[in-house]
A and B are shown apart, each in its own frame.
Chain A
Amino acid sequence: MALTERQYFALRRLHSLSGVFPIGVFLAEHFFTNSFALHGAESYNAKVEFLTSLPYLYLIEGLGIFLPILFHLVVGVIIFREARFNNRSLNYRQNAMFALQRISGVVLIFFIAYHLAATRFGAYFGYDTSDLFALMSDKLQNPFVVAFYVIGVCSASYHLGNGLWGFAIHWGLLTGRRAQQRWSWAALALAVALAVTGLNSLLAFRPLGLEPILLFDKSASHVHAVAPAAEAGLPEMQDAHGHGAEGGEHR
């Protein structure tokens, strides 16, 4: 490639930046929006409808999400290929995190491709995307799909969390070893928080008949005016789990 030295520097810094802004910001927003599924199908689908009704939608999606992800992904693969992993002989924590950052990135390539094909571009693959909640909970009755989503959510959470650590060093925000180590733990805590949020919103779709955790919610009474699994077209599961379930206060 005919990039000058300085352009290559810019390319790598833009890769770093794109991971946080816009991709990281989008990921956090995405997990939060998905959490509306905790309040049932209607609430979730309303959010989806709101987002798809945004003005300049294609511009926001294209320039704000798809293009940055594609850019980050392509440069990410180039960076991945530069690494010669040596975790077996040099078994240090940061070395493991380094390898995981790259592996989670590659996992995300497959996950994001599948996830987009099954939701945003589902219509092209013969899915009915008018009721995303139903589509999601329908898919999540397959244990393999559930496993893939769990891996995807965890990969994305770790990749962003630890990515914020690398970001702080690549941009020279933290220069001392002690500061870097402290931030590393904070970044991992952030990754766990992201993963819990993401996984809980998966549970909101009642995968395999499981239930989400309703924590810190204002009130539970208005939440499920209609039994959620019934909305999702899964009446038997509702019967099995609706009665006598723990945390009955949110029914």
Chain B
Amino acid sequence: MRSEIVFRIRRQDGPQEPSYVQEFRLNYRPNLNIIACLQEIARHPVDASGKATSPPVWDCSCLEEVCGACTMLVNGVPRQSCSTLIDSLPSGPIELAPLTKFPVVRDLMVDRKPMFEALKQIHGWIPIDGTHDLGPGPRRPSDQARISYVFSRCMTCGCCMEACPNYDGKDPSQFIGPAPLGQTHYFNTNPIGAMNAGERLDAVMGRNGLTGCGNAQNCVEVCPKEIPLTDAIAQLNRQANRHWLTTLFGR
């Protein structure tokens, strides 16, 4: 049992500033999550040596693991700081750090915009607006809808991107990463979304697409929403290969 909680927080004063680690100590109370601790530290921003400092900066919104904003590295593993309970962590010091594959805004806050750009690349929406009513959409079997629902839970938190050894983050011409591939599969298996399936498949058959995945399967291990990303990637591989082989010599 811990009597106090020790945090080692990797901080950074601005996007271009060097990073440094600061230690903070709190009295132990049961049932704390990491955000609650960060709030307490921010109220009394004094580090472990007794020196007054600036309050650490982090991002959060929903506080119930549905928005993804509070994602950070907890002891080196990407996860949501709102749903990570102190009591579930081993008793040593707790290391907090910003995600490494997204640009740091300040301290623990990163800019996950590359994931938004990736969703634009894969056509991550269903175009239904037009000049006239198209009538009701097709019905779908409930087992398909169930699988689809799982993919719909993606909150672009970036855990899978952070964990993927082939996702670089800095260079968008490299691998696009697991989350957008999961969403490609999601929109392509929707009966209305399927009308643009070819477009989305094309979008992930380029240099930064599917071929960048090396099957480390870290993405499924860390996804807090248990999205079967590797199933999606393999399904897309199957479709992409068929598309490639059947158009090998032109159409």
Contacts and interface: CB of A to CB of B under 8 A. Distances in A.
Contacts of A99: 165, 216
A33 interface: no
Interface stretch (A82-90, A212-220, A242-250): A82-90
Contact of B215 (A10, A84, A166): A166
A6 B244 contact: yes
Interface in B224-251: 228, 230-231, 233-242, 244
Contact of B244 (A10, A88, A92, A173): A10
B54 interface: no
Contact of A169 (B73, B222, B228, B234): B234
A174 B234 contact: yes
Which of B165, B168, B240, B242 has the largest number of chain A CB atoms within 10 A?
B165
Interface stretch (B11-19, B42-50, B204-212): B204-212
Interface string A80-113: 0011111011101011001101100000000000
A8 interface: yes
A90 to B, nearest CB: 5
Interface stretch (A143-151, A175-183, A232-240): A175-183
B216 A98 contact: yes
A224 to B, nearest CB: 45
A94 B166 contact: no
B210 to A, nearest CB: 8
A37 B77 CA distance: 50
A172 B214 contact: no
Given A83-B166, A90-B163, A177-B231, A165 B215 contact: yes
Nearest to A174: B234
Nearest to A96: B216
Interface in B168-205: 168, 174-175, 205
A171 interface: yes
Interface residues of A, number: 36
A12 B211 contact: yes
B217 interface: yes
B216 A177 contact: no
B228 to A, nearest CB: 6
Nearest to A168: B234
A241 interface: no
Interface in A121-174: 165-166, 169-174
Contacts of A169: 215, 230, 233-234, 237
Interface in A169-226: 169-177, 180
Given A90-B221, A169-B234, 6 more contacts: A5-B206, A9-B205, A82-B174, A83-B165, A95-B165, A98-B215
Interface of A: 3, 5-6, 8-10, 12-13, 79, 82-86, 88-90, 92, 94-95, 98-99, 101-102, 165-166, 169-177, 180
| Closest A-B pairs by Cβ, 8 of them | A172-B238, A89-B76, A5-B206, A98-B216, A12-B211, A175-B234, A94-B217, A172-B237
Interface of B: 73, 75-77, 163, 165-166, 168, 174-175, 205-207, 209-212, 214-218, 220-222, 228, 230-231, 233-242, 244
13 contacts: A5-B205, A5-B209, A8-B206, A9-B206, A82-B174, A90-B218, A94-B221, A95-B221, A165-B215, A169-B230, A169-B233, A169-B234, A174-B234
